[in-house]
A = this chain, B = another copy of it.
Amino acid sequence: MTGSADDPKPRRRPRLSDVAQLAGVSLGAASKAISSPDAVRPRTRLAVERAVKELNYMPSEAGRALASRSTRMIGVAMPTLHHPVYASFFHALQNTLAERGYLTVALAHDFDREREIVLIERLVRRGVDALVLIGTDHAARTIALLDRVGLPYLYSWSSDEALERGAVGFSNRMAMHELVCHLAGLGHRRIAMITGEVRYNERARLRLKGVQEAAASKAMELVEVATAPLTITGGLDGYRRLDPVRKGVTALVCGTDLMAAGALHGARQDGFSAPEHLSVTGFDDIELAGVLTPPLTTVRAPIAEMAHATGEAIMAMLKSGEAVPTQVLPTALVVRASTGPAPAEPHATVTSFVSR
C-alpha cells in the first residue's frame, strides 16, 4: 500500500526546503507563502500549496519556534485538574487560545507552592510565550523568576486583591458577602463555615473574609470555622468536626459545592435535613449542585467567561507588550432549596431526631 519498488528509502519527513524545491521557489518564498499567503504572488502561493499537499508537508513547530523565538505555547500553573471548575477553566482557556493558534499547556501543583515553582521553571524552559497564574497568592521567588526572565504573565481567577499587573477574575469576597446576606434575610443568626486551606490560597481566604465581614455587618455570629480539603470527603469530614446542628448553628456556609455535597451527606447521616434543620450553601455552581438533595443554594462562578477573558487578555498582553487592566466578572447568587428560614428553635432539633 505504501511500498513501491524502491522501498528502502529513509522517508525523511518533508521539510520546507523540499516544498520550496518541488514548487520551484526559494526557501524564503515558500516560508512566506505559508505564513502569510497574501504577501506573495498568487502563482507562487499556488505552487507552494500544491507542493505542500503533494508532500504531505507539516511545518515543524520546533524549527519555527527557534527561529521566531515564539513557541506559541501558553502555560498555566493550575492548582489541580481534579476539581470540575479547574478542569472547565482549562478546557475553555485551551479552546480560546487554540483559535489563535496557541497551545495551552497545563501543569498541576496540587496546592503546593514549592511544586509550583518547579513547574513554572519547567514551563519557562519550554519557552512558553506567556503564563497564566491561578489566583494571586504566589511565592515571591516565583514572581522574581518570571520578572527576571521577562516572561509575560497574568493573574486569573481572583480579582479581589488589586495588583499592578492586572487580574482577570471575580470577587470571592463580594460573592460570599451576597450569599451571607441571603442567609441573614432568612433569619439565620448563628452560622458556621467549612473553608479550604487559606494558606497560600487567597480564594479561600477571601471567601472566609467575605463571610466574616457579612456576618459582622448583619450581626450574625460566625460560630466556628473548619478547614478541610476542597473535596466531597473534605466537606463530610468538616461537617462531622463542626457538628453544627447540635451547636445551635442554623446555616452552614461551604467554600465549594463539592464540600457542600459532603456536608449535606453528613447532615443526612445524622438525621438532619436541609433546609429544615440546617441551611447549607456552596460555591461554584457545578453541575452536581443542581441535583443534590436538596438542590444547592450557591454562587455561580463565571468560569467559562473568565477563561475566555483570560485568553483574550493574554493575547492582548502579547500584542501590546504591556500588562492589561484588571477585569472583574460578575458572580450570581443561585438560590435553590438547600437554604430556607432559620428554624425557630434551633436547639430543639437536637433531640427530636435520631434516625439516620
Q: Contact residues of A with B, CB < 8 Å?
A: 2, 11, 13, 56, 58-63, 65-66, 71, 80-82, 84, 87-88, 90-91, 94, 98, 103, 105-108, 121-122, 124-127, 148-150, 231-233, 236, 261-262, 265, 268, 287-288, 291, 293
Contact = CB atoms under 8 A, between A and B. Distances in A.
A213 to B, nearest CB: 31
A122 B103 contact: yes
Given A87-B81, A126-B61, A232 B287 contact: yes
Contact of A81 (B65, B81, B121, B122): B81
A228 B261 CA distance: 24
Count the copies: 2
Interface-centre pick from A62, A106, A148, A287 (highest chain B CB count, 10 A): A62
Nearest to A295: B265
A126 B2 CA distance: 25
Contacts of A236: 291
Given A231-B287, A268-B293, A108 B91 contact: yes
Given A59-B125, A232-B291, A291-B232, A87 B94 contact: no
Q: Mostly helix, strand, loop or mixed at chain A's interface?
A: helix
B66 A63 contact: yes
B62 A127 contact: yes
A291 B106 CA distance: 30
B94 A108 contact: yes
Given A82-B87, A103-B105, A233-B291, 10 more contacts: A11-B150, A13-B150, A56-B148, A60-B66, A61-B125, A61-B126, A66-B66, A80-B91, A87-B87, A261-B291
23 contacts: A60-B66, A62-B62, A62-B65, A62-B66, A62-B71, A65-B65, A81-B81, A81-B87, A81-B90, A82-B84, A82-B87, A82-B91, A84-B84, A87-B87, A98-B122, A231-B287, A232-B288, A233-B287, A233-B291, A261-B288, A265-B291, A265-B293, A288-B288
